[in-house]
Amino acid sequence: MGQINPYEPPRSPVADVGTAAPLGAYVQGGRAVEAGHGWTWIASAFHLFRKRVAAWVVIAIILGVIFIVLSKLPLVGWAINALLMPVFAGGIALGCRALEDDGDFGVGKLFAGFGLRTGRLVTIGALSAVAGIVIMIPVFLIMGKSFFALMSGDPSALAMLGPAAAIGFLLTLGLSIPLYMALWFAPCLVMFHDLEPTQALAQSFSACLKNVVPFLVYGVVVMIFAVLAAIPLGLGFLVLVPIVLASIYTAYRDIFFAPL
């Protein structure tokens, strides 16, 4: 055996545990990327989908059933959905990380967030629910009784709404976009970086704000795919939903880590 030089630097590559390749340097608040990366996120997500197609489809079905059933609950259904969504998103992010290692990935990953940092994920959901209520207050003041028709989704009631409905819809959309920006990467940041909920929300918003153009590209592509997915009796959403879920993780990887 050769002599060991105590002053020789280590030769083994240093990589994050549980990843197939080094992630790169973490960028607090995210970095700006080029417009074409909006498509790259989707392509990378499709690659993860192809690795476990059956598991992804089952996850999409289970999620759909859960949220549809909960949405039927009067008054509290939407709030429960808001509380649970970050928890499910955190579990899916862990599953995506496992897939990069060609590790274990199954339906159980959907519920992995209930066993790790659950409190912080639920807190994110609670904050989003409160923000949703705050957003609805000015919309209600503008629309009055028409607000309840809009929320009910009744086609006959919606047909009778006047200009106030359009104003209310645009106001809701405008106020909701910043909320979605704050929520988009927050579960990933909590799961992988152990951030506090408010820190995760702030960094997610910052990252989205730096990448408005890539997100516009991403949104247009997803909308086109959504139209195509709806053609075969909506069955295409069994593919599109998992890809969108996985793309949150692939976008997080791209934006929050600078290449080595």
pLDDT tens string 70-128: 988 887 888 899 999 999 999 999 999 999 888 889 999 999 999 999 999 999 999 99
pTM here?
Answer: 0.84
Q: What angle do CA 157, 159, 160 make, to 5 degrees?
A: 70
Give the per-residue pLDDT at 11. Answer: 38
Region 172-176: mean pLDDT is: 84
From CA 246, how far away is CA 41, in angstroms rounded?
9
The widest CA-to-CA distance across the chain, in whole angstroms, is 87
From CA 167, how far away is CA 143, in angstroms rounded?
8
Q: Is the pLDDT of residue 141 over 80?
A: no
Supply the angle between the helices 237-256 and 197-210 in degrees, to the nearest 10: 90
The number of beta carbons lying within 10 Å of the beta carbon of residue 74 is: 6
Mean pLDDT (the chain, rounded):
85
- The answer to whether the CB of 200 falls within 8 A of the CB of 190 is yes
Instruction: Name which residue leads in pLDDT, 55 or 6.
Output: 55
